[in-house]
């Protein structure tokens, strides 16, 4: 802990332990269901998706970051678990309803869609069908001002918690952007934040933060008092590398996108390690369609061995994920729907892997 | 510490790195020239903008589906690293083992090749050639996946000898064939699918899949070969052993190194008929290569400590490549203190000037020296340098202006102002002609009065204007 | 009106990303077309018929007018052997007229060299856009790359005219003639002097120009307006290059492709009207190309990279009509699911080079290719 994130990086091979491939579950209660999406620059599909918000009707709103040279890839894609496609909204730019660096998504009790923007330092609001409603937020370090807002989540009173990344704090606003509360400060110590990313709330409105730069999950009370920290730096069970997102289910199980380790971990309500997932993507409906149109590509793919044993020159989960397509690659967001089904959005694979609880 | 020492270290940093700020030069000057050279040669404590931070804000810079990502990633590194020689050497090898996007169509594979240069580019030349021959991007770039037992494809075998190690005139056409035979069976995994994806520019359905080397013994021709007068059932490694022993290889690499770090040699095709600019220097470097068992760092150590490198007559004799110019400006402006969208524009600026990282015009690499310069590219180069150095919002520019202001109290003359600005831009020295023009330019605003209350803003503007003008000099285009 | 350059010039417009040829020139009476394109097929009644078999996508309406005037040559089935479906490689093939190996020299770079061997005019070739496409690259051939004609030149960020003049004056002294200096200084000095000269000339173009044509507010229209401005200024420019993106319509094709072609076809039509207004219509030929066509079968939202494309040659000097053959859609005639090309793109290049620019095409296109009659020599 405590390495200087902005200027120092570990040598390529210093992290040592490769993530094991099997789930290694102590309590296996998640099973793979399916994969959604595929990469497309526009329209039906995802392009470097960075978050998925799930509506009350279980519609998925996938926030696409795209890349800076492809502005038309910036959009929110609407679809559902049956791979039905409902269109996109939002585009690249600074006008109302546009984004530069869209980051997090959340949905209020009325079904409105909120999207944060790390470049414009604001929150944009859309209705259920993607029509622009309003926007708020301004750049700065003062109370209620934002520097690079990333993860966002609502409590059950329709107040929005914003991960205010470069101010190293969490801020709480009303749905229309009135400042209510700010907590957390920069540091490497207990309860301190370092470039926080994902944020979520449990049934009691406790706030969980993916404390990205400090490799842990922090838990705060609804009033912002520091309550607990889960995990330390590392690649072992219950250890994290740059966690990007966190979700908590009705029983208090904590799901963590362990981004730097390219995996998802589940902690039990006491914070103990419960299980981990490395990813087991299969072809989505859209992907199958692509391969059926591009026949020779489908045929060559069928002949290829995509799960080779590889003698890596650089030992790192990121490296492994770049080679083995089914593994999570940049699992950036974990979200639960009302039934407790888990959606893992992977920015580098442009898809969502879906896992469901096994009835216990 | 005299200023001539600072200027010499500034020369070292321009050539062995991407230039240095005045503050960094003070730090290096305190430890002296030789110690600074040693620090560059032994990159241990690497500090730079971390990959995690880059990937978080620029997912494309780890997914690398497009042609710009690997270059952007590299530029981030050049602009922020504390071990610049490592990046400079990677650029050196990239210029020689020039592998390009249009055929590879895989940013990660190209980026992995640069990473390989970073790890092996300052070690044994033998190891470097072995790794190069196994490099998936290189295999696809020069068709070695089509080089089969009984049906050779000579492309890699030929370029390995002609462009990567010895140069024409030092081997026969038969040697090329035998070399190619030795590399049969060196291919990439899932070759059919991966090659098809490249040919179709396909990142569907789930983004690029990284490549890796695979050796197919059943496709390797293990019969006897005769290569450069030696006989044996050679495999690729054996051929590389023989290549590395050659005097021609020693001279070829030495001449490249001289051209890159000291003074531009003519384009490689002219080498057989044109003697080197400095025969003695080539002999010194070749000797270091052979004495050290092909150790690149040993050659560089000789080079950086040689009079032919340190001599004032070799300063500012080279034209900065576009990437050197851009990275050098970014280190002066200190723009990338955190991930910023502007990295794409900075990468494109180098493209506009004629250098697209990981996309050289052909396997022969870029034509260096004055070939970088034409009217179009010069407009881009001057506009970029002056625009960036004229932006007082950039932290590095702010610091320079403040340093100039802090170094004097009361009015300072145009002569002194120009001197201070040149110093802040990295202990630059300029011709008398340039200096005269700069002083005339600085005189337009009259003496700069510092520390005089409300004139501060005006003074800062005057200082900024001179810094910007320094960025437009011929010397700033040179290294 | 100032003196008008009567030399023939060539305007090349690149449709970046791979234009869907089959939805541009449409076999609207062929049932196979509609079978293969359930999602993105253009309804028969909307197609602008050119003859009994083929018609234009309705978003190319301005091209129908050009067709009726006999100024539109359509080259169907254009491509090259062993088509590459990667944007980057296929683009390079078109740029360098070299499908076999990686080449560093662009065909238009060679054209500029042949038109102005002594390099007397720094503006013989002008590229609109930043960075030079490889088509225009040729060692020792200067080509101006103009991002924005109004602000083209050195140090455009200096807003204040006085400040800028002082800075440019200093620059011209630093980059002035430098007898006795080293080789690098001489090259820098020459390039710097040429840059100032070229910028001074180019910046006069918009001031000299006036027109009744109102170009639309989109990039290709504004670029073609810049081309008209330079052409009207009579600066001796012979080769103009412009690009429009992105035709890479994997998804959302109906909407995206419509907008792209509305912009491009309207801009070209406005440009030809502008040339006519200035009496320049006999001096310019326009070539429109794209690096490849797309798959015959749609993918449910758009279509993927294919081969076999369509090119257009446009202008008053052009003999309008169909050239090449329209490729068959039958499965047995397809090439891996794509339209099978039937004429090498270098035939079109050669025709333009020989019959329009009066150059020897063979060394430029790396071979001898049959020529079309879309221009009478």
Identify which of A146, A62, A67, A136 has the alpha carbon closest to the alpha carbon of residue A100.
Answer: A67
Residues 50-79 of C with CB under 8 A from B: none
Rounded CA gap, C311 and B274, in Å? 47
| Owning domain of residue B8 | 3-39
Tell me if B479 is assigned to some domain: no
Determine whether the interchain pair B105/C157 forms a contact, defined as Cβ–Cβ distance below 8 Å: no
Q: Domain C9-152+214-365 falls in which CATH fold?
A: Alkaline Phosphatase, subunit A (3.40.720)
Rounded to a whole number of angstroms, the distance from the CA of B384 to the nearest CA of chain C is: 8
Rounded CA gap, B75 and B341, in Å? 13
> How would residue C1 be classed by pLDDT, with cut points 50, 70 and 90?
very low
Q: Which residues of B touch A69 (CB under 8 A)?
A: 66, 68, 344
The pLDDT assigned to C287 comes to 98
Determine whether the interchain pair C163/B100 forms a contact, defined as Cβ–Cβ distance below 8 Å: no
Q: Does C104 touch chain B (CB under 8 A)?
A: yes
The pLDDT assigned to C183 comes to 87
Q: Mean pLDDT, chain B, as a whole number?
A: 94
Do B291 and B427 lie in a common domain?
A: no
Work out the percent of chain A whose per-residue pLDDT is above 90: 89
**pLDDT tens for each residue of A237-281:** 999 999 999 999 999 999 999 999 999 999 999 999 999 999 999
For residue C300, the chain A residue with the least C-alpha distance is A289
Cβ pairs A/C, distance under 8 A = 40
CA dihedral of residues B329, B333, B338, B340 (deg, nearest 10)? -60
Tell me if B49 is assigned to some domain: no
Task: Say which of B53, B57, B202 has its CB closest to residue A6.
Answer: B53
Rounded CA gap, B327 and B80, in Å? 9
- From residue B67, alpha-carbon distances to A206, B107, B358, C173, C231 in Å are 44, 6, 8, 39, 34
The pLDDT assigned to A9 comes to 42
- HEC letters along chain A: CCCCCCCECCCCCCCCCCCCCCCCCCCCCEEEEEEECCECCCCCCECCEEEEEECCCCCEEEEECCCCCCHHHCEEEEECCCCCEEEEECEECCCCCEECCEEEEEECCCCCEEEEECCCCEEEEECCCCCEEEEECCECCCCCCECCEEEEEECCCCEEEEEEHHHCEEEEEECCCCEEEEECCECCCCCCECCCCCEEECCCCCEEEEEHHHCEEEEECCCCCEEEEECCECCCCCCECCCCEEEECCCCCEEEEEHHHCEEEEECCCCCEEEEECCCCCCCHHHHHHHHHCHHHHHHHHHCCCCCCCCCCCCCHHHHHHHCCCCCCCEEEEEECCCCCEEEEECCCCEEEEEEECCC
State the DSSP code for B47: B
Determine whether the interchain pair B472/C195 forms a contact, defined as Cβ–Cβ distance below 8 Å: no
Task: Say which of A41, A42, A289 has its CB closest to residue C299.
Answer: A289
Determine whether the interchain pair C156/B383 forms a contact, defined as Cβ–Cβ distance below 8 Å: yes
The pLDDT assigned to C86 comes to 84
Q: Is the pLDDT of residue C6 over 70?
A: no
Tell me if B352 is assigned to some domain: no
Sign, CA dihedral C46-C50-C55-C58, equals: negative
Rounded CA gap, A131 and B155, in Å? 56
Determine whether the interchain pair C252/A42 forms a contact, defined as Cβ–Cβ distance below 8 Å: yes
Rounded CA gap, A298 and B215, in Å? 25
Determine whether the interchain pair C252/A43 forms a contact, defined as Cβ–Cβ distance below 8 Å: yes
> How would residue B124 be classed by pLDDT, with cut points 50, 70 and 90?
very high
Rounded to a whole number of angstroms, the distance from the CA of B148 to the nearest CA of chain A is: 20
Q: Is the pLDDT of residue A65 over 70?
A: yes
Determine whether the interchain pair A41/C248 forms a contact, defined as Cβ–Cβ distance below 8 Å: yes
Q: Is the pLDDT of residue B4 over 80?
A: no
For residue B198, the chain A residue with the least C-alpha distance is A297
Q: Which chains touch C (3 or more CB pairs under 8 A)?
A: A, B
Q: Which residues pair with A49 in a beta bridge?
A: A64
> How would residue B458 be classed by pLDDT, with cut points 50, 70 and 90?
confident
Q: Mean pLDDT, chain A, as a whole number?
A: 92
Determine whether the interchain pair A39/B56 forms a contact, defined as Cβ–Cβ distance below 8 Å: no
Whether the ω angle into residue C246 lies within 30 degrees of 0, i.e. cis, is yes
**pLDDT tens for each residue of B374-430:** 888 999 999 999 999 999 999 999 999 999 988 777 788 999 999 999 999 999 999
Could you give the 3-state DSSP secondary structure of residue B452?
A: coil
Q: Which chains touch B (3 or more CB pairs under 8 A)?
A: A, C
Ranges assigned E (strand) in B208-327: 213-215, 225-227, 230-232
Q: What backbone torsions phi and psi does residue A198 show, to the nearest 5 degrees?
A: -70, 155
Do B27 and B96 lie in a common domain?
A: no
Average pLDDT over residues C182-195: 89
Whether B37 contacts B301, CB under 8 Å: yes
Rounded CA gap, B301 and C287, in Å? 55
Q: Is the pLDDT of residue A19 over 60?
A: no
Identify which of C162, B121, B50 has the alpha carbon closest to the alpha carbon of residue A195.
Answer: B50
Rounded to a whole number of angstroms, the distance from the CA of C127 to the nearest CA of chain B is: 10
Do B122 and B178 lie in a common domain?
A: yes
Last residue of a domain, one of B250, B279, B314: B314
Determine whether the interchain pair B362/C102 forms a contact, defined as Cβ–Cβ distance below 8 Å: yes
Rounded CA gap, B96 and B363, in Å? 8
Determine whether the interchain pair B192/A303 forms a contact, defined as Cβ–Cβ distance below 8 Å: yes
Number of domains in chain B: 3
Q: In a 10 Å sphere around its CB, with 0-12 CB exposed, 13-18 middle and 19+ buried, how is residue A24 labelled? A: middle
Tell me if B388 is assigned to some domain: no
Q: Which chains touch A (3 or more CB pairs under 8 A)?
A: B, C
DSSP H helices, chain C, are 31-36, 61-68, 87-96, 107-115, 161-174, 183-208, 219-232, 253-277, 345-351, 361-365
Average pLDDT over residues C260-277: 97
Task: Say which of B48, B69, B209 has its CB closest to residue A7.
Answer: B48
Do B208 and B270 lie in a common domain?
A: yes
- Mutation target to probe the B interface, by most B beta carbons within 10 A, among C87, C93, C131, C247 is C131
CA A78, chain centre distance (Å):
17
Q: Which residues contact A80 (CB under 8 A, 6 or more apart)?
A: A58, A59, A60, A86
Residues 182-241 of C with CB under 8 A from B: 182-185, 187-189, 191-192, 194-195, 198-199
- From residue B140, alpha-carbon distances to A207, A262, A309 in Å are 50, 28, 21
Whether C352 contacts C286, CB under 8 Å: no
Q: Which residues contact C100 (CB under 8 A, 6 or more apart)?
A: none
Do B24 and B114 lie in a common domain?
A: no
> How would residue C142 be classed by pLDDT, with cut points 50, 70 and 90?
confident
Q: Which residues of B touch C188 (CB under 8 A)?
A: 319, 373, 378, 474, 477
CA B273, chain centre distance (Å):
27
Half-sphere exposure of A98 (CA within 13 A, CB side): 9
Determine whether the interchain pair A41/C251 forms a contact, defined as Cβ–Cβ distance below 8 Å: yes
The pLDDT assigned to C101 comes to 84
Task: Say which of C248, C300, C303 has its CB closest to residue A289.
Answer: C300
Determine whether the interchain pair A6/B51 forms a contact, defined as Cβ–Cβ distance below 8 Å: no
The pLDDT assigned to B407 comes to 78
Tell me if B124 is assigned to some domain: yes
Task: Say which of B363, B376, B382 has its CB closest to residue C142.
Answer: B376
Last residue of a domain, one of B288, B314, B340: B314
Q: Containing H/E element for B327?
A: helix B322-333
Could you give the 3-state DSSP secondary structure of residue B449?
A: strand
> How would residue A360 be classed by pLDDT, with cut points 50, 70 and 90?
low
Q: Is the pLDDT of residue B184 over 60?
A: yes
Half-sphere exposure of C330 (CA within 13 A, CB side): 3
Work out the percent of chain B whose per-residue pLDDT is above 90: 87
Do B200 and B114 lie in a common domain?
A: yes
Q: Mean pLDDT, chain C, as a whole number?
A: 92
Lowest mean pLDDT among A7-16, C98-107, C315-324: A7-16
CA B216, chain centre distance (Å):
34
> How would residue C2 be classed by pLDDT, with cut points 50, 70 and 90?
very low
For chain A, the residues whose C-beta falls within 8 A of a C-beta of chain C are: 40-45, 72, 289-290, 293-296
The pLDDT assigned to B3 comes to 67
Lowest mean pLDDT among A14-18, A72-76, A172-176, A308-312: A14-18
- From residue B12, alpha-carbon distances to A26, B9, B48, B120, B467 in Å are 57, 5, 20, 22, 22
Sign, CA dihedral C273-C274-C278-C283, equals: negative
Whether B88 contacts B16, CB under 8 Å: yes
**pLDDT tens for each residue of B295-304:** 999 999 999 9
Q: Is the pLDDT of residue A144 over 90?
A: yes
> How would residue A36 be classed by pLDDT, with cut points 50, 70 and 90?
very high
Q: Does A323 touch chain B (CB under 8 A)?
A: yes
Cβ pairs A/B, distance under 8 A = 145
Rounded CA gap, C220 and C237, in Å? 19
Q: Does C139 touch chain B (CB under 8 A)?
A: yes
Q: Is the pLDDT of residue B433 over 60?
A: yes
Q: Is the pLDDT of residue B455 over 70?
A: no
Do B26 and B109 lie in a common domain?
A: no
**pLDDT tens for each residue of B343-364:** 999 999 999 999 999 999 888 8
Sign, CA dihedral A168-A170-A174-A176, equals: positive
- From residue C167, alpha-carbon distances to B133, B373, B476, C201 in Å are 51, 21, 16, 19
Whether C342 contacts C325, CB under 8 Å: yes
Domain spans, chain C: 9-152+214-365, 153-202
Rounded to a whole number of angstroms, the distance from the CA of C137 to the nearest CA of chain A is: 23
The pLDDT assigned to A44 comes to 95
For residue C304, the chain A residue with the least C-alpha distance is A294
Which tokens in the block code for residue C107? 């065909």
Average pLDDT over residues C319-338: 94
Tell me if B66 is assigned to some domain: no
- From residue B393, alpha-carbon distances to B335, B343, B388, B476 in Å are 9, 17, 10, 21
Rounded to a whole number of angstroms, the distance from the CA of A10 to the nearest CA of chain C is: 35
For chain C, the residues whose C-beta falls within 8 A of a C-beta of chain A are: 246, 248, 250-252, 256, 295, 297-304, 336-337
DSSP H helices, C116-181, are 161-174
Determine whether the interchain pair A300/B48 forms a contact, defined as Cβ–Cβ distance below 8 Å: no
For residue C298, the chain A residue with the least C-alpha distance is A293
Determine whether the interchain pair C251/A290 forms a contact, defined as Cβ–Cβ distance below 8 Å: no
Identify which of B415, B402, B407 has the alpha carbon closest to the alpha carbon of residue B463.
Answer: B402
Q: Is the pLDDT of residue A20 over 70?
A: no
Q: Is the pLDDT of residue C336 over 70?
A: yes
For residue A292, the chain C residue with the least C-alpha distance is C299
Work out the percent of chain C whose per-residue pLDDT is above 90: 73
How long a stretch of residues is chain C? Answer: 377
Lowest mean pLDDT among A147-156, B429-438, C186-195: C186-195
CA B125, chain centre distance (Å):
18
Rounded to a whole number of angstroms, the distance from the CA of B112 to the nearest CA of chain A is: 10
């Amino acid at each position: 802990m405590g390495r200087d994130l902005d200027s120092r990086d570990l040598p390529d091979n210093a992290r040592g332990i490769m993530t094991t491939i099997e789930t290694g579950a102590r309590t296996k209660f998640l099973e793979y269901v399916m994969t959604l999406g595929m990469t497309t620059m526009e329209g039906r599909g995802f392009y470097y998706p960075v978050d998925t918000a799930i509506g009350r009707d279980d519609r998925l709103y996938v926030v696409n970051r795209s890349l800076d040279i492809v502005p038309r890839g910036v959009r929110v894609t609407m679809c559902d678990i049956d791979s039905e496609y409902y269109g996109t909204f939002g585009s690249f730019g600074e006008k109302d309803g546009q984004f530069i660096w869209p980051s997090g998504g959340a949905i209020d009790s009325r079904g409105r869609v909120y999207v944060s923007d790390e470049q414009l330092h604001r929150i944009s609001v859309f209705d259920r069908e993607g029509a622009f409603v309003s926007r708020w937020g301004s750049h700065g370090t003062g109370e209620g001002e934002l520097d690079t807002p990333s993860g966002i989540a609502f409590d059950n009173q329709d107040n929005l918690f914003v991960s205010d990344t470069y101010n190293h704090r969490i801020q709480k606003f009303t749905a229309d952007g009135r400042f209510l509360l700010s907590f957390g400060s920069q540091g490497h110590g207990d309860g301190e934040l370092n470039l926080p990313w994902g944020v979520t709330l449990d049934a009691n409105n406790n706030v969980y933060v993916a404390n990205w730069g400090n490799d842990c999950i922090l838990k705060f009370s609804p009033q912002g008092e520091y309550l607990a920290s889960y995990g330390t730096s590392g690649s072992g069970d219950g250890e994290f590398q740059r966690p990007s997102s966190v979700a908590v289910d009705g029983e208090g199980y904590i799901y963590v996108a362990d981004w730097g380790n390219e995996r998802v971990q589940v902690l039990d309500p006491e914070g103990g390690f419960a299980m981990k997932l490395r990813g087991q993507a299969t072809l989505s409906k859209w992907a199958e369609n692509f391969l059926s149109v591009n026949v020779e590509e489908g045929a060559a793919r069928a002949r290829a061995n995509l799960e080779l044993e590889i003698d890596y020159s650089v030992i790192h989960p990121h490296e492994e994920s770049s080679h083995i397509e089914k593994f999570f690659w940049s699992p950036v967001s974990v979200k639960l729907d009302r039934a407790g089904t888990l959606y893992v959005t992977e920015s580098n694979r442009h898809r969502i892997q879906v896992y469901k609880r096994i009835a216990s | 510490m005299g200023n001539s020492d600072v200027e010499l270290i500034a020369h070292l940093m321009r050539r062995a790195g991407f230039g240095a700020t005045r503050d960094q030069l003070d730090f290096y000057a305190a430890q002296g020239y030789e110690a600074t050279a040693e620090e560059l040669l032994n990159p241990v404590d690497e500090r730079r903008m971390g990959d995690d931070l880059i990937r978080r804000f620029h997912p494309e810079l780890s997914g690398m589906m497009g042609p710009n990502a690997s270059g952007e990633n590299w530029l981030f590194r050049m602009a922020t690293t504390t071990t610049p020689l490592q990046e400079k050497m990677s650029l050196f090898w990239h210029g020689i083992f020039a592998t390009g996007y249009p055929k590879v169509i895989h940013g990660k594979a190209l980026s992995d090749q640069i990473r390989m240069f970073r790890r092996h580019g300052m070690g044994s030349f033998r190891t470097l050639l072995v790794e190069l021959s196994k490099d998936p991007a290189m295999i696809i770039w020069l068709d070695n996946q089509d080089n089969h037992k009984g049906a050779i494809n000579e492309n890699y075998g030929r370029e390995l000898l002609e462009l990567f190690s010895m140069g024409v005139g030092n081997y026969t056409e038969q040697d090329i064939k035998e070399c190619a035979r030795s590399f049969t069976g060196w291919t990439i995994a899932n070759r059919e699918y991966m090659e098809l994806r490249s040919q179709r520019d396909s990142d569907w359905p789930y983004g690029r899949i990284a490549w890796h080397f695979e050796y197919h013994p059943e496709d390797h021709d293990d019969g006897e070969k005769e290569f450069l007068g030696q006989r044996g059932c050679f495999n690729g490694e054996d051929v590389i052993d023989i290549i590395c022993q050659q005097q021609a290889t020693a001279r070829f690499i030495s001449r490249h190194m001289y051209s890159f770090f000291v003074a531009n040699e003519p384009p490689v095709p002219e080498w057989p008929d044109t003697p080197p600019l400095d025969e003695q220097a080539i002999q010194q470097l070749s000797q270091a290569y052979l004495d050290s068992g092909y150790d690149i760092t040993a050659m560089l150590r000789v080079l950086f400590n040689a009079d032919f490198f340190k001599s004032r007559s070799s300063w500012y004799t080279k034209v900065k490549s576009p990437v050197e110019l851009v990275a050098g400006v970014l280190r002066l402006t200190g723009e990338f203190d955190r991930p910023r969208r502007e990295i794409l524009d900075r990468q494109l600026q180098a493209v506009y000037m004629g250098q697209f990282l990981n996309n050289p015009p052909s396997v022969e690499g870029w034509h260096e020296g004055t070939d970088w310069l034409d009217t179009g590219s010069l407009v881009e180069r001057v506009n970029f340098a002056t625009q960036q150095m004229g932006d007082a919002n950039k932290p590095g520019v702010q610091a320079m202006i403040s340093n100039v202001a802090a170094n004097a109290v009361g009015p300072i003359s145009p002569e002194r102002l120009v001197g201070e600005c040149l110093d802040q831009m990295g202990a630059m020295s300029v011709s008398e002609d340039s200096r005269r023009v700069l002083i005339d330019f600085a005189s337009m605003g009259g003496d700069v009065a510092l520390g005089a209350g409300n004139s501060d803003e005006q003074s800062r503007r005057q200082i900024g204007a001179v810094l910007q003008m320094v960025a437009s000099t011929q010397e700033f285009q040179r290294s | 009106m100032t003196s008008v350059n009567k030399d023939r010039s060539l305007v090349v417009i690149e449709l970046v990303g791979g234009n869907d040829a089959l939805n541009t020139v449409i076999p609207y009476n062929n049932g196979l077309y509609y079978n293969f394109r359930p999602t993105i097929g253009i309804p028969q009644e909307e197609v602008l018929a050119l003859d009994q078999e083929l018609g234009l996508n309705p978003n190319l309406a301005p091209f129908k007018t050009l067709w009726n005037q006999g100024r539109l040559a359509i080259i169907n089935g254009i491509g090259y052997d062993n088509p590459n479906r990667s944007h980057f490689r296929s683009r390079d093939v078109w740029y360098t007229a070299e499908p076999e190996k990686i080449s560093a020299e662009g065909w238009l770079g060679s054209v500029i060299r042949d038109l102005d061997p002594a390099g007397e005019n720094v503006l013989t070739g002008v590229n609109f856009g930043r960075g030079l496409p490889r088509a225009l690259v040729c060692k020792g051939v200067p080509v101006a790359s103009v991002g924005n004609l109004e602000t083209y030149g050195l140090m455009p960020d200096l807003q204040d005219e006085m400040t800028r003049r002082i800075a440019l004056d200093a620059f011209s002294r630093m980059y002035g003639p430098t007898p006795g200096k080293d080789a690098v200084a001489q090259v820098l000095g020459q390039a710097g002097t040429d840059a100032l000269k070229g910028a001074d000339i180019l910046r006069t173009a918009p001031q000299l120009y006036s027109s009744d044509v109102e170009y639309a507010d989109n990039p290709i229209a504004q670029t073609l307006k810049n081309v008209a401005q330079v052409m009207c200024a009579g600066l001796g420019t012979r080769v103009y290059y412009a690009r429009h993106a992105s035709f890479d319509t994997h998804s959302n094709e109906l909407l995206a492709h419509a907008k792209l072609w509305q912009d491009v076809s309207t801009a070209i039509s406005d440009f030809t009207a502008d040339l006519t207004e200035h009496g320049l219509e006999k001096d310019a030929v326009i070539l429109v190309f794209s690096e490849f066509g797309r798959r015959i079968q749609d993918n449910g939202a758009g279509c993927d990279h294919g081969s076999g494309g369509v090119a257009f040659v446009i202008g008053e000097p052009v003999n309008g009509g169909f050239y090449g053959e329209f490729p068959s859609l039958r499965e047995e005639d397809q090439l891996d699911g794509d339209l099978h090309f039937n004429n090498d793109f270098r035939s079109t290049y050669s025709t333009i080079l020989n019959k329009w620019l009066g150059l020897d095409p063979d060394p430029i296109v790396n071979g001898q290719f049959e020529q079309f009659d879309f221009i009478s020599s």
